[in-house]
Amino acid sequence: MILINRDLRMQQDFQDHCGYGVIPEAGGFRFLVYAENIEQITLTLNDVEYPMEKAPVRPNTYTLFFEELTPPFHYVYNILKGGDFFCDLLDPFAPFTDPTGTKSLYKVEEPFHFFSSRPSHSTHNLVIYELCVRSFTKDASANVRAPGTFEGVIEKLDYLQWLGIDAIELLPVTLFHPSQLWGYMPRHFMALAPHLSQDRDPVKSLKMLVEQAHKKGIEVYLDLVFNHTDSMESTLFPFCENFYLKNYDATGCGNTLNVHHPIMTLLLLEAVKRFVQIFHIDGIRFDLGLALCRDEDGRILADPPFIHQLENLFKKKIKIFYEPWDTAGYRLKDFPTKNGLVWDDQIRDTIRRFAKMDEGQIPLIFERFHSPNAVKMISCHDGFTLYDLVSYETKHNLLNGYKNRDGHNGNFSSNCGFEGETKNEAILSKRIRRAQTLYAMLFCFTGPILMNAGDEFLSTHYGNNNPFNQDNRISYLEWNRQIYPSFVDFTKKLIHIYKTTPLSNPLALVQFSGQNPDELGLQHNDHLFVITKTDDSGSIFVAVNSWKDPIEISLPALDNGEWEILLTTAENPFILEHNTLLIARTHFPH
């Protein structure tokens, strides 16, 4: 390995890459890194430290060129800034780290052949299954060869295909400390977390997962955290304090990224580009999406440049989802996107409140019913699981270490008469019926629909509604859970009904009614939900009673044909008791 001085030829050297990281040149490799307002920067390459030089022409860019350097090699940066010394910094533009996740790694990308094409599902009846790679199969009951890894997820793809899932959405998988189970404290935006791979080769493992998912017709989405970093001092701050908003935090994590800094924009778009082109990822979900819309003073922009560039580059290649809020703002109905979809927490809370007999929810359901560009959910990683929604009145987060102050407070949950786990058959029966009510309501909305992993067999976090750091039984899915084994069959049937009837057709005629379905119109009955959806194929009728007393119902009159009962949880399908439902359909003759 020989270090030499060599002039930087701008136009020629940077036409085929983003201009930062490790750049192959004739006879060697050039290191390029961006840094502002520093006193000194050095490169530790293969455990030997070298001072870096300022690059000609390019502002705030430092460089070194080495001849006879053979990949793979590992390296870190060290910065002296304001009298403070920051050492062992990862290269923000490096797509790989060593197996420990502590050093940037340069190696030649290994060839990987994707034989299966992208499934490209429509969003109107899309069913998304959100999962945490580690907690999904870490428990022994998962019965996989590589628990808690991408390989473990691959072993469950047959099950997800059987269930009827169209897409899996992975909680963050870019580099994070293993103690942060969910991965929402990112240490890097490109490099993957080694501990999520059986052989600590996460690039190969994720490619294998995508290929196998596509083979079964399942899309793969990534949850990316572009709004903050794990620690400013050990990630991006030493390179440039302007990579973060100054004196403004919209994330609750002590820092908010300034995504409109030109280098940050470049870095984040390069990360998305890599996931789309190299990994064949089908969609991206952005955590705290509103933080990506703020200017340097924290103000929300009407047309955020980062969102604008992102959607122009990738809108036809992938699906893009946003959380339309951050800790300082909320823009569900006017989130500044032209092509993305948003998560809808209002539908979530309205259905929850309906199921627990809160008054006045039917008009709110009607208001949110026509929202094809919003992702609907009852639960997700953040908050109570479906089972915990019907088993706990309050959150139980003490083990997280924040004196139960963390986690969402407005859960709209009910314990059905007892707080927590119980073997009381009467209470369990109430819980199961309420869970069925919640899921049946969810699948009445035109998609996309989001499911939380494990809800289909009533998984629990034991009342913890924010187990982001609980890498243990609290978070792991218990695949042999026997609370109500047939709930998974109930879920599978709901998904099938949703996909094969007018229920998911955004163009279907929707009619709201009351106990008598022939008296059409929005009925302000607080506790009975009745709709009929009709398209060219026929009609589907759904009635759900959340009230404590039985309600007698009837099916709409037909000119010809007859109704077929598809699903009911009531002993008598036409007398709906507390938290029971009826779904029926009729076919039009061709």
Asked if the model's pLDDT at residue 522 lies above 90, the reply is no
Is there a domain that residue 467 lies in? yes
Span between the terminal Cα atoms of the chain, in Å: 76
Residue 171's Cβ-side half-sphere holds a number of Cα atoms within 13 Å equal to 23
Rounded Cα gap, residues 20 and 50, in angstroms: 18
| Domain boundary pick from 486, 503, 520 | 503
Determine, yes or no, domain membership for 22: yes
Q: Are residues 72 and 96 in the same domain?
A: yes
- Residue (of 48, 44, 31, 33) closest to 103 by Cα position: 44
Please tell me whether residues 73 and 90 are part of one structural domain: yes
Rounded to an integer, the average pLDDT of 448-470 is 97
Task: Provide the residue range defining the domain that includes 25.
Answer: 2-106
Q: Are residues 177 and 144 in the same domain?
A: yes
Residue 433 lies in a domain: no
The confidence score (pLDDT) of residue 11 equals 35
pLDDT value at position 447?
80
Question: Of 71, 106, 141, at which residue does a domain stop?
Answer: 106
- Mean pLDDT of the residues in the chain: 94
pLDDT digits (tens, 9 = 90+) for 181-208: 999 999 999 999 999 999 999 999 999 9
Question: Distance between CA 364 and CA 353 in Å, rounded?
Answer: 11
How many whole angstroms separate alpha carbon 33 and alpha carbon 22? Answer: 9
Orientation angle between helical segments 305-314 and 262-277, nearest 10 degrees: 20
- Residue 419 covered by a domain: no
Alpha helices in 336-406 (DSSP H): 345-355, 361-369, 386-389
541 and 458: one domain?
no
Q: Are residues 249 and 344 in the same domain?
A: yes
- Comparison of pLDDT for 432 and 56, the residue scoring more: 432
**CA 455/CA 52 separation, integer angstroms:** 53
Distance CA 547, CA 559 (A): 32
Residue 371 pLDDT > 90, yes or no? no
Give the model's confidence band at 363: pLDDT under 50 very low, under 70 low, under 90 confident, else very high: confident
CA distance 301 to 314: 21
- Residues 47-54 have a mean pLDDT of 97
- The pLDDT tens digits for 8-50 are 543 344 344 578 999 999 889 999 999 999 999 999 999 999 9
Same domain for 379 and 244: yes
Secondary structure (DSSP) of 171-203: PP-BS--TTSTT--S-S-SSSBPGGGSTTS-HH
Maximum alpha-carbon separation in the chain = 87
Total number of domains constituting the chain:
3
* CA-to-CA separations, 258 to 19, 253, 268, 295, 312, in angstroms, rounded: 20, 14, 11, 7, 20
In a domain, 397, yes or no: no
Say which residues have a Cβ less than 8 Å from residue 117's Cβ, sequence separation at least 6. Answer: 214
Mean pLDDT on 452-457:
98
**Residues 167-174, mean pLDDT to the nearest whole number:** 98
**Span of 40-54, 128-142, 545-559 with lowest mean pLDDT:** 545-559
Output the pLDDT for position 14: 37
Instruction: Please report, rounded to a whole number, the percentage of residues in the chain having pLDDT higher than 90.
Output: 88
Percent helix, percent strand, percent coil in the chain, to nearest 5: 25, 25, 55
Q: Is residue 418 part of a domain?
A: no
Q: Which residue has the higher pLDDT, 165 or 517?
A: 165
Q: Hey, which residues are catalytic here?
A: 287, 323
- Measured distance CA(470)–CA(381) in Å, rounded: 12
Q: Which residue has the higher pLDDT, 235 or 315?
A: 235
The pLDDT value given to residue 446: 87
CA distance 369 to 366: 5
- CATH code: domain of residue 28: 2.60.40.10
Q: Is the peptide bond before 92 cis (omega within 30 degrees of 0)?
A: no
Q: What is the pLDDT of residue 521?
A: 64
How far apart CA 150 and CA 204 sit, in angstroms, is 10
What does DSSP assign to residue 520?
B
Residue 88 has pLDDT above 80, yes or no: yes
**Residues 343, 258 share a domain:** yes
| Among 77, 4, 66, 95, CA closest to 38 | 77
**What gap in Å lies between CA 290 and CA 330, rounded to an integer?**
7
The CATH number for 330's domain is 3.20.20.80
Does 80 lie in the same domain as 204? no
Least confident window among 322-326, 420-424, 557-561: 557-561
Q: Are strands 61-67 and 2-4 parallel, antiparallel or unpaired?
A: antiparallel
Residues 512 and 470 in one domain: no
* Residue 283 confidence (pLDDT) above 80: yes
- Report phi then psi at 521, rounded to 5: 125, 160
- One domain for residues 536 and 490: no
Residue 410 placed within a domain: no
User: What's the pTM value of the predicted model, to 2 decimals?
Assistant: 0.96
Residue 517 has pLDDT above 50, yes or no: yes
Are the C-beta atoms of 585 and 566 separated by less than 8 Å? yes
Are 93 and 165 members of one domain? no
CATH value at residue 556: 2.60.40.1180
- 499 and 511 assigned to the same domain: no
Query: Bridge-partner residues for 51, per DSSP?
Result: 42
Judge contact between 445 and 487, C-beta under 8 A.
no
- On whether the CB atoms of residues 123 and 319 are closer than 8 A, the answer is yes
In the numeric block, the tokens 């061709």 are attached to: 590
Beta bridge partners of 41: 79
